[in-house]
Structure 1
Amino acid sequence: MNNDKISALEVSFNQLAEILVEKKQQDEYFTFKLSWEQSQFTRFNHARVRQIGCVIDGWIELKLMYNQRSNYRRFPFVGNFELDWKQLYQALQELRQEISYLPLDPYLVLPVGNNNNNSHELYPGELLSEDSLVYSILSEVEELDFTGIYAGGVTTRGYADSCGQKHWFASDSFTLDYSIFNLEGQAVKGNFFGSRWHQDTYRKKIADSKRQLQLLCTSTRKVPRGKYRTYLAPAAVSELLMMLSWKGISEADIQQGNSSLAELYHQEKALSPIFYVKENLNLGLVPRFNQWGEIAAPELPIIEKGVLVNTLANSRTAKEYGKIPNGANASETLRSPEISPGTLTSEEILPQLDTGLYISNLHYLNWSDCSTGRITGMTRYACFWVESGKIVAPIENLRFDESLYCFWGKNLLDLTNFQEFIPEVDTYESRQLGGSLVPGMLVKDFTYTL
């Protein structure tokens, strides 16, 4: 992290916010937000560099609120005070002209913070240098058909409002999202994440992928549809968990009858007593402040002993439905979720699975029946048929269709005693923050339909 650069950005951002406060007219409110990154991107194919470059990009968003109405403008953040203020002042004038023509918003949330609620979080790391990046990654995979993308650098989020509240978050991090293919086109999927690059850890990660790739060399087995004892690795568990951010854990979705957890919310059903989920912002991977400058608790329990104890409720939802907000973001989605570990050791996974399916990854997930918590999707990459505690053969892709009330409920046998962090790797518009900390899980009677 270039501390001088980040400090200069923060100074410029704060100057803009302070002038906005001075220019604010009576009964006007505003929020002022920044998203900025300096990221190194390197794309690999066939263990060769196919694309490389550095991106410096950012935007600021001004939201004006007046007379129970709101409107906003978003534009590039240059980091030059004179240029940024010119854009910002023009946006302010345009918003003032437009806002009276907009409809009233009965649930508009106004900033109410003060200087005592300010926050300032910096998470510096040790990332690969531009000169060492390519060798560090390719030296371990030069004999493999390796493809993937490395994205690393500093990401920054800023917030200020008309009440004088300010928040600042900056973090160094990297993700390496990769696949390794064999001659038949089968692949092992992996990711490597952190704020500090450790070559030995990366080497072990690649060695594990190589072992899985070797297991793919035998003929694939077609598994008939049916119910099978199944081990789902952390990457697969993460895919299932993140479905709760879509028609799941949101208080608004529950109130509007759109949630997959409605039966859990109304205590008509329960999940397994060994199943725990929480939002863990102590990991420092995402800002604790939301779009209104509200700071969420470091940890928020969501499911404890299979019982729903909290939903994600932001201030807008709370205002509309008479609930208590808990610092959730505008979309009421999981930002840094964690599933608690169980007792299953890595050595016990195959013996405890005995005969069934070992699922490394899932994709194309969707709700097949949201009201009953049924999720459908496909197996992906290195998935295997296991007999008597030994991997026998890779499988052809299968479609599953199963209710979360089963695989996190009555059919959940155990969770691993270790967890893996599965990062967000999307780079649409900007590099995404966060991810999930999850164990693997062993379930019985997991339903495969095709």
Structure 2
Amino acid sequence: MLEASFNQLVNEIRSQLQPDEQFTLTLNCEQSQFIRFNHAKVRQTGTVNDGSLQLVLMHNHRSSYREFPFTGNLECDHQTAQAAIALLREEVPQLPENPYLVLPSGNHISRESHAGKLIAADQVVSTLLPMVSDLDFTGIYAAGSVIRAYADSVGQQHWFDTDSYSLDYSLFTADGQAVKGTLAGSTWDEAAYQSRIEESRAQLSLMSNAPKPIQRGQYRTYLAPAAIAELMTMLSWGGISESSHQQGGSCFSAMRRGEKKLSPKFTLKENFTSGLVPRFNELGEIAPLELALIESGELVNMLTSSATAKEYGLEANGATQGEELRSPEILPGDLDHDAILKTLDTGLYLSNLHYLNWSDRPTGRITGMTRYACFWVEKGEIIAPIENLRFDDSLYQFWGDNLVALTNFQEFIPDIGTYEHRNLGGVLAPGMIVEDFTYTL
């Protein structure tokens, strides 16, 4: 059993510590099934059983780390860990002191296990493909168990495992236009899958029309939850970070100084109640189940790591070292799904965005491109798809004075990254209508 093997390895490492040495040990592990589809056919399939450990050794205000595989075989893992400790003991004394090094402290112990109801591995193809057999359906299905664990020299220990799946797909027209969709969770929902495919089919039929050229300027715009999720990723790039604020780079510093506010319709929080991501960070600290960040347009908290708190004399709130969002939620509004086009009236309907970047982070200005199934709407009716546009606008506008309405429903947009390991979590967001969204190309 992997948990027992991890716990035994932790005890072995603790027993080898020398006076004044401290350590942290983190585990990323997964047992995943991957299937890649193209033209509604299976092009690649396989399973991954993988685990990796990161061991950080701290001594005399210095630290360094080693990463090595986790096999679950105690003898093998113990030998690898011993070799890593020996190398770290040679390396750490040669490094400069870190005045803001945070040592593990506290007595937190936790265990979370979230069993899901996934499609049986041998039934994935027969479940997914019948509904899309007549379409150019391309995408990746990933599912299985993901484990995150932590232990340290002061006795803190955490275990988190969850069953989850994600389906990231695109439907293509004959001339290469595409509609994108995602579906994710811990329990497979056949009805939700059928509904999502039918919605994508409807958008795909509209994509066959000739695209309407759009001149640069400002347009009333609806941004679907997937587009909102892309905007939210920018807040983890020095946006909601306390360290970024202290160094003069945060987009929310103007709010912190009391110079600006967002719309009272806008509320953002970290919400771990879904159990999709672990609450512990790389120091074993536990984040609150819910942490308000922006409440009714007012900034109430920024993500503050222990290192930032130590450097600037503040109080940490369980944030990771990178002070990025882990389980963000934007609260919904009161706009019904069936009223979106009518309320939009005339303007642009954006299903997705990509290639986002800060064009001026201190003023909250973000640039990016429209992507997949974006349309021109007139008098509440979709008229034609649009060619790709570049936008450049400030969050103080689209989440501020220009925010017209948020939908009364939310969608979970998963983090589908698989670089090194399958990522957890995502963004829970509504759609929104904004006035005068700015397009530059």
Between the aligned partners of 1:286 and 1:336, the Cα distance in structure 2 is 7
| Offset from partner CA, 1:226-255 (integer Å, 9 cap, x none) | 110000000001111111000200000000
The separation in 2 between residues aligned to 1:142 and 1:169, in whole angstroms, is 37
For structure 1, which segment, 217-226 or 406-415, has the greater mean C-alpha deviation from structure 2 after superposition?
A: 217-226
Q: 1 CA distance for matches of 2:360 and 2:103?
A: 37
Match of 1:73 in 2: 66
1:335 aligns with 2:323: no
The Cα offsets for residues 300-337 of structure 1, whole Å up to 9 and x where unpaired, read as 00000111100000100100011100000111000000
Is 1:295 matched with 2:295? Answer: no
State how many pairs are aligned.
441
SS of residue in 1 equivalent to 2:163: strand
1:139 and 1:113 map into 2 onto residues whose CA distance is 53
User: Structure 2 CA distance, aligned partners of 1:90 and 1:61?
Assistant: 13
Output aligned runs, 1:25-40, within 5 Å: 25-40=18-33
Distance 1:251 1:399 in 2: 30
TM-score (norm 1): 0.97
The AA in structure 1 aligned to 2:116 is G
Q: Match of 1:87?
A: 80
Residue 19, structure 1, aligned to residue 12, structure 2: yes
Instruction: Find out whether 1:449 has 2:427 as its counterpart.
Output: no
Alignment correspondent of 2:195:
204
Give the deviation of 1:90 after TM superposition. 1.1
Listed as ranges, the gaps of 5+ residues in structure 1 are 1-7
C-alpha deviation, 1:200, in angstroms: 2.0
Percent sequence identity is 59
Alignment match, 1:438: 429
Question: Is 1:153 aligned with 2:144?
Answer: yes
Structure 2 portions without partners, runs of 5+: none
Letter in 2 for 1:256: Q
Q: Equivalent residues in 2 for 1:40-59 (5 A)? A: 40-59=33-52
Q: Distance in 1 between matches of 2:362 and 2:309?
A: 23
Q: Matches of 2:12 and 2:106 in 1, distance apart?
A: 18
Cα offset for 1:347?
Answer: 1.1
Which one of 199, 221, 235 corresponds to residue 226 of structure 2?
Answer: 235
Determine helix, strand or coil for the equivalent of 1:93.
helix
1:440 is displaced (CA, Å) by 0.1
Q: Is 1:174 the equivalent of 2:156? A: no
Which residue does the alignment assign to 1:305? 296
Task: Determine helix, strand or coil for the equivalent of 1:88.
Answer: helix
SS in structure 2 opposite 1:269? coil
SS in 1 for 2:131: coil
| 1:369 lines up with 2:344 in the alignment | no
Query: Which runs of at least 4 in structure 1 moved beyond 3 Å after TM superposition?
Result: none
CA distance in 2, matches of 1:35, 1:144: 37
Amino acid at match of 1:254: H
Structure 1 residue 93, shift from structure 2 partner: 1.3
**Matches of 1:198 and 1:298, distance apart in 2:** 26
Deviation of the 1:22 alpha carbon: 1.4
Give the drift of 1:24: 1.1
Give distance in 2, aligned partners of 1:270 and 1:32.
41
- Structure 1 CA distance for aligned equivalents of residues 121 and 395 of structure 2: 44
The one-letter code of the counterpart of 2:425 is G
What secondary structure, in the 3-state scheme, does the structure 1 residue paired with 2:36 have?
strand
Quote the offset at 1:203 in angstroms: 1.1
